[in-house]
Chain A
Amino acid sequence: MIGSYDFCGHYEWTFGWFDRVGGHALVRDYWNEAINHDSQSHARELIRREGIPGMLKYWGHTLLEESPDLGFNITHTADVFRIDFHDCPSRGFLRRNGLKNYHDYCDHCMGWTGPMLGEAGYVIDHEHNHLGQCWWEMRKAGTPDGHAPAGSVAGAKDVRLRPDWPKDPAKLDRYTKANDPDAKMP
């Protein structure tokens, strides 16, 4: 049986399998069709219906279940919903267990949440360092380009204020007002 306990392991293995069998297009379709439109349809419907309060309900519940040690922080106002991951439960599982079958596991988050939030009328600012730390800001589409300064939304909980957060942007995957997992900033 495929279980839930080591889900992140076989989920990551699956990305690599799809990539080998059908290339990058099949991986993208998997994230959008199977995860966004099927598995996470409850999140999709909630966020399309309620916007930022729906994001709070969805991620507040899901992250607490996946990360009871609270390796994350949620901040929200009327205009922005932000998550800082200081210890991503999913990436952490892979790192602790030495699992790697796909070149960038972290891309899957933008792979399904990007299209989901786009369909709800939101865009995403995001950076991840591939080591279990990342941040996300979701705002209404049409918001001007660019990232908010570190600390301006989440205060001291902003992951970019960590001493180990890379100073070199080349060590990060970065997105601004994006919905497409391939829309990484150069």
Chain B
Amino acid sequence: MSAPALSPLPYVDTKPQGSADFYYAVNATFRFLLQRLGVEGWQRYLEEMGRGYFEPVNRQWSQGGLPAVARYWRAFFAAEPGAVVDVVERPDRVEVQVRECPAIKHLRAGKREIVGEYCRHCYFLGSARAEAAGLTMRLSGGSGSCCHTYARPDAGLAPQDLRAIKEARS
């Protein structure tokens, strides 16, 4: 099955969902980065990926505003196996309410040792992408369920408290 030509996803595949075992590689990549380059190196990797690899999405968000953000996250999680997510649109923000994180769920099912910092990757990556699109991003919760908030600058979100992001547990 091909993704529709007007998919909100910038990169499309011939199959409708990804293979969940790829979460093993994402978790292992984070462990390698943290061991070799430390937290600062890992954070830099995520921020550069956010501005570089995800540039087409950031451009969509910049041009389409919050409705484009909501469309993207609905399409994104529809393509992630095992995700249970609600995307709620409010006047000044979009809340991505992750009730079951597909990655944490699969890593636990596979009895993998989850990198403790795993959930913070969504903040470092997401905030770099939001900033590139003229938005702000905050994250709360984690370790299986969380809430990502993408907002217009005038929404006046409080600064991110990294302690609001839970350590991921296996």
Contact = CB atoms under 8 A, between A and B. Distances in A.
Nearest to A13: B53
Main secondary structure of the interface of A (DSSP, over half): helix
A142 interface: no
Consensus secondary structure, chain B interface: helix
Given A33-B32, A66-B19, A3 B27 contact: no
A5 B14 contact: no
Most buried by B among A34, A68, A96, A101: A34
Given A13-B49, A13-B53, A39-B27, A6 B13 contact: yes
A2 B129 CA distance: 12
The residue in A14, A35, A96 that gathers the most chain B C-beta atoms within 10 A of its C-beta is A14
A78 interface: no
Contacts, number: 108
Contacts of A92: 14
A92 B53 CA distance: 18
Interface string B23-64: 111111101100011000100010011001100000000000
Interface of B: 9-15, 17-29, 31-32, 36-37, 41, 45, 48-49, 52-53, 76, 79-81, 101-103, 110, 121-122, 125-126
Interface of A: 1-7, 9-11, 13-14, 17, 21-22, 26, 29-30, 33-35, 38-40, 42, 62, 65-66, 68-69, 89, 92-93, 96-97, 99, 101
9 contacts: A3-B79, A3-B80, A4-B103, A5-B76, A17-B49, A29-B36, A89-B14, A97-B10, A101-B52
